[in-house]
Amino acid sequence: MFNINEPYWSAGLNLATANDDIRNLYAAMKRIAPDVPVFVYMDGIADLEKQNSSAKITNGMGDIIAVWLHCFGGAEGSCQDAIESVKNDRKILQERGINAQLFFSVQTFGGAPSGNYIMPTYSQLKNFTCEIISTGTLDGLIYYPWRNPAEYRQYLFNSPQLHGVIKDVKETCINNSLMSTSPIPSIYCTKAGDANCDNKVDGSDYVIWLNNYLQAKKGARYGDFDNNGLIDGIDYVIWLKNYQL
């Protein structure tokens, strides 16, 4: 997996060209290794675009978009703010037909001199993780222990009292969640009728169309093959015409 880390923070603040720069970098990576997913570590999409009017998240920037909001200690907002933020980000991906998965990065570092960035307790970390998974808006989730000793002193890897949360969350939350298990999509999956982006139009794509039939969702990943925001009979015809081609 390739990683594009915080591109809008790393673009020298030249936001006038940052959007094109990210798309060009992504395209270059896919030319080199088309089957390797590109993981883009973004800020919250809606918040980023609100703060930077030139920033615009589009197709062709990454296969996985990871967003975050450090809510422990309230430095960047509350944990409820984080949940609402990820809902808004999913809505943006759907409305724009962006063919990328949405991951949330749970920030697990703290101990800053300011005191605003703190490490959560076991129950805080578990409860927040389970709550954000239960929204059904995510394709994946990671824990991010940013090691920056100049600013922080505590991380998930040196907090053994928290290590059990990962197994606990998996057993009690993820196994019963709405989190997607579909393959990672890419704008380079161009076959009409290919919902799961495995470069085949087959029964698996039909099942995705059927499960979303008559729902208002936008993008081929939901079976909306004409990208009009509604999964209907026209999308079925598109799938049928391309079946096993």
Question: Which pTM value belongs to this model?
Answer: 0.71
**Is residue 154 helix, strand or coil?**
strand
Q: Where in the chain is the domain with CATH 3.20.20?
A: 2-176
pLDDT of residue 213: 93
Count how many residues are written for the chain: 245
Report the share of the chain in percent with pLDDT over 70.
90
Q: What angle do CA 174, 176, 179 make, to 5 degrees?
A: 55
pLDDT tens digit string along 204-234? 889 989 988 998 887 787 888 887 889 999 9
Mean pLDDT of 48-68: 88
> Torsion angle, CA of 152/157/161/164, rounded to 10 degrees?
140
**Helix pair angle (164-172, 122-133), 10° resolution:** 30
pLDDT of residue 187: 41
What tokens does 33 get?
């290794």
Res 183 pLDDT > 50:
no
Res 14 pLDDT > 70:
no
pLDDT band at 185; cut points 50, 70, 90? very low
Identify the sign of the CA torsion 183, 173, 6, 80.
positive
pLDDT band at 186; cut points 50, 70, 90? very low
Identify the sign of the CA torsion 13, 17, 20, 21.
negative
pLDDT band at 175; cut points 50, 70, 90? low
**Is residue 189 helix, strand or coil?**
coil
pLDDT band at 199; cut points 50, 70, 90? confident
Mean pLDDT of 94-100: 85
pLDDT of residue 210: 92
Res 34 pLDDT > 90:
no
CATH of domain 2-176: 3.20.20
